[in-house]
Structure 1
Amino acid sequence: MGAVISACTKKKSGAVQASASNIVPGTIEEVGAQWIRALQGSEALTSAAALYQGSSHTESQRAARNLDFPHLIVSAGLGLISADAPVPHYAATILAGNDSVLALLSGGDKAARWWRWLQANSPLAQSLDHVLNTSDGPCLIALPQPYLAMIADEVLALPPAALERVRLFSGMQAPQALAHLQMPYDERLDDKSKTYRGTRQNFASRALRHFAETILPGRETQSAAQHALAVDASLADWTAPELTVGQRKTDTELRAILSAHWDAMGGRSTRMLRLLRDDLGIACEQGRFAGLMRDMRATRGGTA
């Protein structure tokens, strides 16, 4: 049996009990101590599998179920946790914006330092080495680039035999020392005739699901190079969608368009973004779109 490891998601169920926005900036030890106290003060717990929401998490769950592998999650607030673990509803991320832990820390190389501290001090975290030691199959790690970079040192510290069982899935190039373990998925995954299309945000988990469903079964003991060749062969006849330059709109124009389609789309971000980009051919950068949706949701309501 192997393992599936995916990323936490910003969208979560329930009410926030521990938020990085309430932490006072300082050294990593000062910030970390405050954060652990906030987690320990949380009363209501839910399984990590039920806490995280969104298509990326759903795709990763599906891959783990298909393989009957344990599912683990890289959490910026909790460490590497089992999807079965009871956890508090928290708000913490290494990405820019609200609840960014890295914005609280002094010094450089913040993400990697934070991960090392969290793995050593979080009462919920387990080491990647332990995960590999308690399994004998492939370890499939699907993470966006910032999270993959955050845990790269821990991956590289694995014993050679364990490291060779790792397979990486990400929308961006893995660190050079790990590049040979990254599976060669690209824009062909968005072939319009296939069922693996999605947003760039969930690319890693969609690639993971394709690998779990069509590549790994029957090839569990093959090398990373053999797996990469199988991926290339599987995608050989797939076609990447043509890139088009979308129309440019002002914020006022975009708000009017979003408002006109709000009810039909149920106020859902993923559906709205698809509508703009695919159906209406309108360009809107992800961060800008997220800000517009937050503003509109504050006045109109809806889901993420």
Structure 2
Amino acid sequence: MRLESSSAQAVPARELYSGRAFALASKAVESAGADLYVLSAGLGFIKQDALVPPYSLSVAPNTEDCILLRSLTEPFTSSQWWSALHEARRSRPLAQLLRVRPKAMLVIAATRPYIEMVEEELASLTIAQVTRLRIVGPTRANALPDFLRPSVMPYDDRLDDAGLGLQGTRFDFAARALTHFVGLVGGDDRIQSPQDHAKRVHLALSRHRAPERVQRVRLDAVALRRHVRALKKAGESKTTALSKLRRDLGYACEQQRFFSAWETL
């Protein structure tokens, strides 16, 4: 693979993945005394301390780095790509992790495109292994296969209630849901069923309300560049800057459009 032969200096994965989403996930996992792994579109399933070369790939549609758009012959799915990443090692890393840790719970915090990437491997899990799987991030469980739906925790826009202190963007929704879920069940002595955990999430969110959606004004290219310069000058990170642009300044801007402007200024 090109990444394996890269001459770029390798760094720990936790240094490569920056931004609020990864920071939240890392803090949540550390608080539970657990291990953090990354579902990487370029490298597969990697532990946060693994040394990796810098890269830029994604399976999210409508993004410049989407690997699914780079086929010169036949199109392929994210699930096929995931299988190809691990074919040389002949491994199914998620199944292997659950096998070597028979008393552990595997919580996958990811957006739907990344869940779809590992969907075929998840389908190979035993029934007992699936009962130890939790998924936080997708807000529509019915968009996933039947066997995964009980594992999806019922998080929705109520997570943005100010009373929870977990407001953010769609980009970091899965990490915020993970933070809440770990705080909710992280101290348990034993793993409860997916249904029990779903009920606990539902009950916890029932005390909160989703904020009213604000109609935001879309920025033109000139105004966007002006705000990006100001936010960079203020020392904001890329992810925090986008959040401030939307939440504090009240503007509408797609994530990819904002990030592209950020990288070019």
When normalised by structure 1's length, the TM-score is 0.78
Matches of 1:116 and 1:164, distance apart in 2: 23
Moved more, 163-172 or 96-105: 96-105
Structure 2's unaligned 5+ residue stretches are none
Moved more, 47-56 or 94-103: 94-103
Structure 1 residue 219: deviation in Å? Answer: 6.0
Moved more, 53-62 or 211-220: 211-220
Amino acid at match of 2:182: A
Aligned positions of 1:96-245 closer than 5 A? 96-105=62-71, 106-121=73-88, 127-135=93-101, 136-174=103-141, 175-177=144-146, 178-218=148-188, 220-245=190-215
* Runs of 4+ deviating beyond 4 Å: none
Amino acid at match of 2:44: G
Question: Of residues 49, 52, 60 in structure 2, which corresponds to 1:87?
Answer: 52
Structure 1's unaligned 5+ residue stretches are 1-35, 298-304
When normalised by structure 2's length, the TM-score is 0.88
Matches of 2:77 and 2:222, distance apart in 1: 37
CA deviation profile, 1:266-300 (whole Å, cap 9, x unmatched): 253233323322222222222322232233x2xxx
Matches of 2:21 and 2:137, distance apart in 1: 12
Matches of 1:126 and 1:101, distance apart in 2: 20
- Number of the residue aligned with 1:53: 18
Instruction: Give yes or no for contact 2:39–2:46 (8 Å, CA) kept in 1.
Output: yes
- Number of the residue aligned with 1:293: 262
CA deviation profile, 1:4-57 (whole Å, cap 9, x unmatched): xxxxxxxxxxxxxxxxxxxxxxxxxxxxxxxx1442343632222232211111
Instruction: Give yes or no for contact 2:92–2:121 (8 Å, CA) kept in 1.
Output: no
% of aligned pairs identical?
32
Instruction: Give yes or no for contact 2:11–2:51 (8 Å, CA) kept in 1.
Output: yes
CA 1:232–1:127 in structure 2 vs 1: closer, same or farther (change >3 Å)? Answer: same
Instruction: Give yes or no for contact 2:218–2:253 (8 Å, CA) kept in 1.
Output: yes
Matches of 1:173 and 1:121, distance apart in 2: 34
- Number of the residue aligned with 1:10: none
Matches of 2:52 and 2:223, distance apart in 1: 41
Amino acid at match of 1:293: W
